[in-house]
Amino acid sequence: MKGLLKNLGLILVIVGAVILIACAFTGNVNNNVTLGVSALLVVLGLVTYIVVNKRITD
């Protein structure tokens, strides 16, 4: 469980990046909701990665 929790932030960043890449390839760059959700996932993933890795030590 610790392994998944340590990588939760990284997973969120990757999911956000995949959404942004998918939007770029499909040409759906005018949808603000999709772009906002992906940007929120990236920022939330960065914050989660920093906070969780400060608290969890092996």
* 8-34 pLDDT per residue, tens: 889 999 999 999 999 999 988 888 899
Which pLDDT score is estimated for 57? Answer: 64
Is residue 39 within 8 A of residue 16, CB to CB? The reply is yes
Q: Find the helix or strand (DSSP H, E) in which 19 lies.
A: helix 8-26
Locus of tokens 């993933």: 45
Average pLDDT, the chain: 88
- The pTM for the full model equals 0.84
Dist. CA 54–CA 58, nearest whole Å: 11
